Amino acid sequence: MNSSEESAVSGMSAGRSAMRMGPAELVQAAAMARRFYLEGKSKIQIAEEFGVSRFKVARVLETALERDLVRIEIRVPAELDAERSDALRARYGLRHAVVVESPAEAEETPDPENLGEVAADLLGELVNEGDVLGLAWGRSTIHMAAALDRLPPCTVVQLTGVYDAGTAERGSVEAVRRAAQVSGGDAHPIYAPMLLPDEATAEALRHQTGIARAFEYFDKVTVACVSIGSWEPGISTVHDMLSDEERAHYASLGVAAEMSAHLFDAEGRRVGRDLGERCITVKTDQLRRVPEVVAIAGGQRKGPAIDAVLRSGLVTSLVTDTSAADYLMTAGTAPRSALNRTDPDGP
């Protein structure tokens, strides 16, 4: 047999070897894979146990994957869209982004209730013992509070007044009480409307004992939960509280979104700052200093508003749905990182 024939036979043998693993190889590969994937042992530890090099262990593990001896599945609950979540987090530079499947029967409904349930689980992860949790008014935060079933001991403070003082028991006051009950911590609700007729009335209310006590905690908040509203009827609490003349005035300033009674244009810049002076609410510079600000907002109609608020740099994490996420992934030029907490309006 000449050298070329020997090479051909050698190549055929190597090909057969690459195509099949013998029983001893299969058993060894299975054992190594079990040590690595199930028992958490390192490649060096496995190499020492089997008397081989760590490079051989790496090759065996790679081959086990290629031959389907080992299958790796990444499984999340069906209602969570992991791919969209990661893409959205990367696009906006968020700390956390959780995208929930939009209910098929309610695609046009803003803030589906299942967002609150997922946000409740997220808060259970983010809040630590001794934290100060701030809750702003919003339907989504109310749904979130109702779904809470675990929180470490923490103080809970209301960050805004209520939409209607007469419905406080069913709104943000009750949300604060519910969160405090679950955590076993102190509650600091605000018994006052969010929007007042003028700045003087708002300032007087801020100095009332109970409200002033809640305001003292605003600079201590470590995790905040907020809602986002579009500037249209039924999707923004503030929009619905204003007169037609006032709505037209703020619309002329280019308002695209509202969060905690603060207005933003499409680029995330604050507009209509005078409105905030009439409101019982946390200030934007206080929110900017909160380490973790979670926004809960969804629905296709809210897409532009969510984009605007994310561009403001006030929000670090987002719970939304697939309808809004699909809009956000194609919304204009790529935004700056949301974790860049500088004010887009400048100092």
C-alpha–C-alpha distance, residues 140 and 346, integer Å: 30
Q: Which of 229, 249, 51 is nearest to 138 (CA)?
A: 229
Question: What is the predicted pLDDT for the residue at 110?
Answer: 66
* Spatial contact of 151 and 125, defined as CB atoms under 8 Å apart: no
Tens of pLDDT, residue by residue over 180-200, are: 999 999 999 999 888 898 999
Q: Which residues 6+ apart lie within 8 Å of 147 measured at CB? A: 116, 117, 119, 120
Question: What is the predicted pLDDT for the residue at 165?
Answer: 43
The residues pairing with 226 across neighbouring beta strands, listed in sequence order, are 295
Question: What is the predicted pLDDT for the residue at 180?
Answer: 95
C-alpha–C-alpha distance, residues 306 and 304, integer Å: 6
Question: What is the predicted pLDDT for the residue at 77?
Answer: 58
Q: Does the global pTM surpass 0.85?
A: no
Q: Please state, in angstroms and as integers, the Cα–Cα distance from residue 113 to each residue in 141, 236, 297, following that order.
A: 10, 17, 10
Residue 4, helix vs strand vs coil: helix
Q: Which helix (H) or strand (E) holds 179?
A: helix 172-183
- What tokens does 245 get? 């003349």
Question: What is the predicted pLDDT for the residue at 15?
Answer: 38
Low-confidence ranges of the chain (pLDDT < 70): 1-21, 73-78, 104-111, 164-170, 334, 336, 338-339, 341, 345-347
Tens of pLDDT, residue by residue over 324-333, are: 999 999 887 7
Q: Which helix (H) or strand (E) holds 267?
A: none
What are the DSSP E strand ranges found in the chain?
Answer: 96-100, 132-135, 155-158, 187-188, 223-227, 229-230, 257-259, 262-264, 270-271, 292-296, 317-321
C-alpha–C-alpha distance, residues 347 and 345, integer Å: 7
